[in-house]
Structure 1
Amino acid sequence: MNGAFTGLRVVDTTHVLAGPFASYQLALLGAEVIKVESPGDPDQARFQGSDRDLVRAGMGTAFLAQGAGKSALALDLKTEAGRDALRSLIATADVFVENYRPGAFDSLGLGYEELSQLNPNLIYCSISAFGAMGPRREQTGYDNVIQAFSGIMDLTGHGDNRPLKCGALSC
């Protein structure tokens, strides 16, 4: 595949939606994207989607859509061997993407300071629901949480004054 990012290597340790969708866009633009998942705690998107057989197989439509064009690898980053394997990948990467709580990768010795010493040209992208600083930085947030905080749920519904989460295509 040729595109604007052909020749770039992206290591993607993200899960659920924001991160996987971002790295999927990079893959569409030609980047080599290597999706890294925990063997004991895979991406929750594997179990989302309308096809129940695929969900049971851990290949939900949400995961398949966001995983298109990516290579996959299972690493347990809670082990030294898993962290060493990730460091080896980072040494050859252009971009690293993670979307865990702020500080989670620092606590594993895989934060920006450590990985940028290993690869000074690395672009380190950290995505979190409420940012890296501020009073809610430690909180996780998914679609329904973000919709509630942003007020969009107050704008949708059936006219009964009860907030309603809007779907991906209905807003």
Structure 2
Amino acid sequence: MQNKTKKCISTFITFLIFVIVTGCASVRYITPQVIKNDITLSNLSASSTKVIVTDYRLAVYPDDVCNSIQKQLTQSLSKAAPLSDVESTLTVDVIEYKSFFTRNEWHGEIKLKVILKNADNKLLGSWDIYETTKRANIWGYTTAKQVSQEVYEKAMSYLISVLNNEVTLEVHQ
């Protein structure tokens, strides 16, 4: 009887350690939702700006963050006539995007490299964007989805702000 109790306790401790280790290493890759908004990149026209989003994470992940970023930026481009006749290419490289669980909190991280060049390949701007967020694990994977969305929105807000305030295109006459 004593050996049976020891074996039962040993099995329970092993199970508990397994749950703790795998729970702490939990990572989720969740596709963020594109946010409809009225923010317009007045200095970048949809007719003269090409948006390219590339996933540079080494592994293949089940999320579609690149598509979300592409749609978010494309919807923000100005629909009005271009302020400049200069065509430009906006390149966004996804370096990191994930949600992970540690010590009763879900964390979200996103890292982007953004480059804006004109048609002559002249650099108009370059930015590294890194955002993080965290929340207590109250609702499990729903919390993971919330931190993924929040970190995506923070990065997109910052990127749109930078593009609106720091980019000036030359006007050729």
Q: Which protein has greater RCO, CA pairs closer than 8 Å, 6+ apart?
A: 2
Q: Do the two structures share a fold, i.e. TM-score over 0.5?
A: no
Higher radius of gyration, 1 or 2: 2
TM range (shorter): under 0.3
TM-score, reference length from structure 1? 0.28
TM-score of the aligned structures, taking structure 2 as reference length? 0.28
Choose between structure 1 and 2: higher strand proportion: 2
